Structure 1
Amino acid sequence: MKITEIETIPYAIPYTKPLRFASGEVHTAEHVLVRVHTDEGLTGVADAPPRPFTYGETQKSVTAVIEDLFAPQLMGLDVFARERIHALLHRTVGNPAAKSALDMALWDIAGQSCGRPVTELLGGHTDRMRVSHMLGFDTPQRVAEEAERIRATYGITVFKVKVGRHPVRADLDVCRALREILGEQVELYVDGNRGWTASEAATALRELDDLGLTLAEELCPADDVLGRRRLVRHCRVPFVADESATTPAEVTRSLLDGDATAISIKTARTGFTGSQRVLFQCEGLGAEVVMGNQIDGQLGTVCTVAFGAAHAASSRRAGELSNFLDMSDDLLTESLAIAGGTLAVPGGPGLGVAIDEDKLARYRQDH
């Protein structure tokens, strides 16, 4: 089965409210829908969510690198020649969202061709995951009110709290308010997006020790080599590397150097193929993983839950699968539904979803 065409469709869907965190702020999902067409009539889809303040990609750069570099190299290749395809893609440095979208679209085609869901091809461990909801910067009262609403509406009891502000006290007050209002049955963990220094993070963790946090993610920059190692060494919960460990090689160095004790896997940045390599390395080194979120829409969330549910190690913890709730609309013909704090993997062949062409026409930016 040969690749005959690769489409890139930039689109923009506003969020219902600004999403704020230490490394940036977003008001609109400016993503790129990627479609890979074949000579047998099958089409694979995936979403590329650029994050310029983290990885340097933009909507325009994703579109350009696929149209100008990747598509000409991949045209006519067999969709199952993944190693050859990845070798060609990796001749160009960076561009993780663009490469990942192409990889996942090819997996979508593979699933469709044999009539099986991608999650089964990847491993088929379970058919759903527990959901973690991300809480952005705001006042303690507003953050707590959002968490209460999310718990009441969707049954979610795991919350990732964005921290990394100055003064640090603003974030500590939010965490303490969440614990007081939500009670002991709710799981809380923090993500600093490298916003604090190592010493600030150490002080904050000491002050939050009685709240029973379960993870600490990217509280300070990995470039602060000695400070980060001291912080990780004394951290009582798994310390998660996210944007500081974006490739299998970086993951290995991060774990062996003591920069982290757990890893966030994001299919939007390592696709399915690269994510498996990261996951298996973590298993071999005895490091936990959490399925992260690149502020994904529903299509990106489908990819995350399909991968996370496919493996025992990636399904143990709640996955960050609810950011699409903050979008004012989406592109799928059938919306995802979180119920009882879990999200099920769509059951159809491939990714098991379809794009609503009317909505795509409404939000696309290239017409």
Structure 2
Amino acid sequence: MTALPATASTAPGANLTITEVETIPFAIPYRKPLAFASGSVSVAEHVLVRVRTAGGLVGVAEAPSRPFTYGETQASIVAVISQIFAPAVVGTDALHRERIHARLRRTVGNPTAKAALDMALWDVVGQAFGRPVTELLGGYADRMRVSHMLGFADPAAMVDEAERMRSTYGITTFKVKVGRRPFRLDVDVCRALRQHFGDAVELYVDGNRGWTPSEAARALDAMSDLDLTLAEELCPADDVLGRRWLASRTTIPTVADESATTPGEVTRELLGGSANAISIKTARTGFTDSRRVLHQCQGLGVEVVIGNQIDGQLGTACAVAFGSAYDATTRRAGELSNFLDMSDDLLAEPLQIHDGTLAVSGRPGIGVTVDEDKLQHYRVDL
């Protein structure tokens, strides 16, 4: 990983006072809808967040609206940033992240809005010091292995998609969306994938809160011979006792996702026995709180996986920047490929997956450039 040298405009000591926080909602269709137990997505309705400083630096990140997961919409993300967060941080030095986060925490909820603002600030700081964010966070590696999410379809279609991802991009780890009723629909899919690939691929499942604990237990029993490596959020996030019962009766590591959206919730899930692994999503905890979650998990000796919020390429660049920074987050493949399902994207230089891996850019900050013509074409606020 080669960092660009600092220039006069990006040297340490540049004025990092925040002068503006800009929000631009945009919409890019998917080539095909991604369906799962809690909903489906056919259009990426996201918000580009830009932080500008007095020294001329501009940090960027992307906030995905997920009303069925976090209760956030494009309109709510734009409103909370422009009306509450921006006035709270303008005039503050971008290096004073703890002061900024203390102000953001006064407002409850709004995780992806807070996360995008946090990552845009890290982008500014990386540019100011002429170093990639990956290096500022930890600098462990310059790339990650990639896992691809497979949405609901019939077994043949899901096998075909997985085979295309393996043959085209070298991806050999697949997260299979489950949680349908009857659960045999998903059992048949997982069995078809294992029969097609044998032991050449890793398979794990994500229920998006779709099953009751008893349904999940029966489904896992029916798939006990398929060598599944993880089982993520199979039951409702607020069914604490049911999830605790399920985690106690299965040998497959139980991953908390929607039930562990804050450091406090992570503590509850792990100490309460409802989960023994955690999905870290930079789209909902940014870089700052994702690091707090990671350190909790390391201290308690539990595994982590870098998750996907059906991110575009900008969000994916943030996820791989964080995931590459630490030993613990590189041990498993990160969910970094679903931007391939989008019909287009905003980056001037598209991300490229080669041999099943995605590399960080190596440029200062997050290291990406937004194509202004594409942004103009896809923005929905004009």
Instruction: State the TM bucket, normalised to the shorter chain.
Output: over 0.9
Task: Please give the per-residue CA displacement for 1:57-113, whole angstroms capped at 9, x wherever unaligned.
Answer: 000000000001111111111110100000000100000000000000000000000
Hey, what's the Cα distance between the residues in 2 that align with 1:227 and 1:126?
38
Identical-pair percentage: 72
Q: Which residue of 1 aligns with 2:79?
A: 64
Deviations 1:315-358 (A, max 9, x none): 11000000100000000000000010000011100011100000
Name the residue aligned to 1:32.
Answer: 47
Q: Secondary structure at the match of 2:221?
A: helix
The residue aligned with 1:244 is 259
Aligned equivalent of 2:169: 154
What CA distance in whole angstroms lies between the structure 2 residues aligned with 1:179 and 1:50? 33
How far residue 185 of structure 1 moved from its aligned partner, in angstroms, is 1.4
Residue of structure 2 aligned with 1:16, choices 25, 31, 55: 31
Match of 1:125 among 140, 143, 154: 140
SS in structure 2 opposite 1:219?
Answer: coil
Counterpart-to-counterpart distance in 1, 2:119 and 2:241: 37
Q: Matches of 2:237 and 2:123 in 1, distance apart?
A: 35
SS at match of 2:361: coil
Specify the SS of the correspondent of 1:352: coil
* Contact 2:255 2:277 (8 Å CA) reproduced: yes
| 1:168 equivalent in structure 2 | 183
Task: State the SS of the aligned residue for 1:37.
Answer: strand
What CA RMSD, in Å, does the superposition of the two structures yield over aligned residues? 0.6
2:370 to 342, 349, 355: 355
Using the TM superposition, give the Cα deviation of residue 224 of structure 1 relative to its aligned residue in structure 2, in angstroms.
Answer: 2.4
Match of 1:86 in 2: 101
TM-score (norm 2): 0.95
| Residues in 2 aligned to 1:78 and 1:60: alpha-carbon distance in whole angstroms | 27
Equivalent position to 2:294, from 271, 279, 295:
279
The equivalent position to 2:307 in structure 1, one of 284, 292, 310, is: 292
Aligned AA for 1:113?
A
Q: Distance in 1 between the 2:375 and 2:239 partners?
A: 43
- In structure 2, how many angstroms separate the alpha carbons of the residues matched to 1:227 and 1:299? 36
Structure 1 distance, partners of 2:102, 2:148, is 36
Tell me the distance in 2 between the aligned counterparts of 1:233 and 1:194.
18
Contact 2:323 2:329 survives alignment (8 Å): yes
Q: Does 1:268 align with 2:289?
A: no
Displacement after TM superposition at 1:228 (Å): 1.4
Q: Give the Cα–Cα distance (whole angstroms) in 2 for the partners of residues 52 and 225 of structure 1.
A: 22
- Structure 2 match to 1:189: 204
- Counterpart of 1:160 in structure 2: which amino acid? K
Partner of 1:209: 224
1:305 lines up with 2:320 in the alignment = yes
> Unaligned 5+ residue runs, structure 2?
1-15
The separation in 2 between residues aligned to 1:226 and 1:263, in whole angstroms, is 18
Contact residue 165 and residue 171 of structure 1 kept, 8 A: yes
Select which of 146, 150, 153 maps to 1:138.
Answer: 153
Work out the CA distance in 1 between the residues paired with 2:142 and 2:237: 35
| CA displacement at 1:235 relative to structure 2 | 1.5
Deviation at 1:50, TM superposition (A): 1.1
- Cα pair 2:237 2:258 within 8 Å, conserved: no
SS of 2:167's equivalent in the other structure is helix
Counterpart among 238, 244, 248 of residue 229 in structure 1: 244
Equivalences, count? 367
CA distance in 2, matches of 1:360, 1:222: 35
1:331 aligns with 2:350: no
Q: Which amino acid aligns with 1:239?
A: T
Whole-Å Cα distance in 1 between the matches of residues 287 and 115 of structure 2? 7
C-alpha distance in 2 between matches for 1:231 and 1:252: 18
For residue 75 of structure 1, what is the amino acid of its counterpart? Answer: V
Pairwise CA distance, 1:144 = 0.5
SS of aligned partner of 2:324: helix
Q: Does 1:106 align with 2:106?
A: no
Deviations 1:153-192 (A, max 9, x none): 0000000000000111100000000001112110000000
Aligned-partner Cα distance in 1 for 2:117–2:317: 15
Deviation by residue 1:251-304 (Cα, 9 ceiling, x = unmatched): 011000001000000000000000000000000011100000000000000000
Distance 1:274 1:119 in 2: 15
The equivalent residue for 1:317 is 332
Tell me, in whole angstroms, the C-alpha distance in 2 between the residues paired with 1:260 and 1:299.
30
Deviation string for 1:8-27 (max 9, x for gaps)? 00000000001100011111
Q: Deviations over 1:140-159 (max 9, x none)?
A: 00000000011000000000
Contact kept in structure 2, 1:222 and 1:259, CA below 8 Å = no
* CA–CA separation in structure 1 for the residues paired with 2:62 and 2:239: 33
For structure 1, the 5+ residue unaligned runs are none
Q: Which residue number corresponds to residue 233 of structure 2?
A: 218
Q: Is the 8 A contact 1:7 1:36 kept in 2?
A: yes
Query: Counterparts of 1:43 and 1:152 in 2: how far apart (Å)?
Result: 38
